[in-house]
Structure 1
Amino acid sequence: MKVLYNGDFIEKEDAFVDIEDRGYQFGDGVYEVIRVYNGTLFTLKEHTERLFKSAKEIGIHLQGTVSDMENKLKQLVSENELTDGGLYIQVTRGVAPRKHQYPDSLTPQITAYTFQVKKPVQEQTAGAKAVLSEDLRWLRCDIKSLNLLYNVMEKQKASEAGAFEAILVRDGFVTEGTSSNVYAVIDGVIRTHPATNLILNGITRRKLLQVCEEQGIGVEETRLCKADLLRAQEIFISSTTAEVVPIIEIDGQPIGNGVPGEITKRVQEGFQQKIKHETSVPS
């Protein structure tokens, strides 16, 4: 398998990380995960633009343009003859002796590779369980950084409890999942946290908001307290690899009727149609 390593395509076994790479030592970098359907990188531009924005927010200057990066990632998918799967791209600040402060002259390290994706069909169809966790992350969750330790810890706790996701609550208000955005249907209207520094404005989230607008489904980008979440008629989450997954139980409490709701199903179908339209996936 080919990987993209600082602009070159090399065999995976020839790729390595320097022991003094700041991404390895500090989590000093940013990343993106992009879904591939029918050999096409879905929402490539949105992901690449966010990668550049995240890098800029933490002071990493990427050479070249968004278009240059897009072409490299397209070539990587082609090199690996990937039809259905995903692509991971990571940018670190660079290699330097281990100190918290860093010199201005570092060269960003860029790596990318493709992978297979196992779509969570069972959860998408029948719904999944979630648990609630306190949101103790830093206050720049809008930056897609490599610092995911707390997300990992809470996701692992959820998994050990037999849940698909941990939904995070900060100061009494629902923010997002450990690796997803969260939506609640209350009185026929979808409510989801506004795109502030407290959540990652997911690319799938943006597409779902478009789907809702096109289908005439009401959406309110507003803070949702824990009590409102638990009284919702429907809850669903979204991410690049999971797409749209209904949540039918939280902390052992059924949500609505305990089965995926009709609005969630409409959103799922609308999203699949958007994928087909934008990637020419045959029916």
Structure 2
Amino acid sequence: MSQTVLITGTSSGFGKAAGRRFASEGWNVIATMRNPEAGQALAGLENVLVTRLDVEDRASIDSAITAGIARFGRIDVVLNNAGYGLFGIFEGVSREAVQQQFDVNVFGAMDVVRAVLPHLRANRAGTIINVSSGAGAIGFPMASVYSASKFALEGWSEALSYELGSLGIKVKIIEPGGAPQTNFMARMGGETATVEPISDYVPFLDQIGQVYGGMAEAADADAVEKVIAAIHEAATDGTDRLRYAPTNDIAPLLTARRGSSEDEYRALTRGMFVASQA
């Protein structure tokens, strides 16, 4: 019997590409998004159910899970992909904007998992894949709130992996770097427009803008393909591996974060993010 994956945020980006990949591999796909009208491309594929799920609306989460099980009989993999990035100096970010960043990136994923766990627990099987970011391991300036949300997602995922492992349920984390082929940066730009500008930070903003411009140019041209391959691997490899970092652009920083001393790591990142005073 074909396995079934429920994916959040499938209207574009990684979610849409993952839906296509799993459908092409013969999986049943529950492709969820806030506006199902945006899912016509997926709706035309075999064994794909496009249905509404807004991670900030718990009733829609319950309805999507119920509809998916009614259509395909069970859910084997949950891919928490829905999310966005808030970019700007922390002091200029309103408390309401911080709350929404966590409502989507953290509490939304938690609510999806909480709603589906009774089903996975009854089956004593399943895999939960949470899409994080390199910013879930590294604190990026100008992305402090986004990094905070992804740090929270990763800490929760790691702790959850031990709890659910006792029931035969796996938890996996995907840590992409930059992905210029998605609309992530476009939405980030829209969110940034809501951040209050503070003139004292202008010199730092100019300097860090140059840093991020160079990082964007170094982003993997095939980032989407690499991330989708990692998601598929996480869903099918049968291992207890927790983290998958598929793109080359973020790899050196992740290696430094986890494979060097704190002093070495801080020297590297300060060299990147802090302008020389000479």
Tell me, yes or no, whether TM beats 0.5.
Answer: no
User: Greater helix percent: which structure?
Assistant: 2
- For normalisation by structure 2, the TM-score amounts to 0.29
The structure in which a higher percent of residues are strand is 1
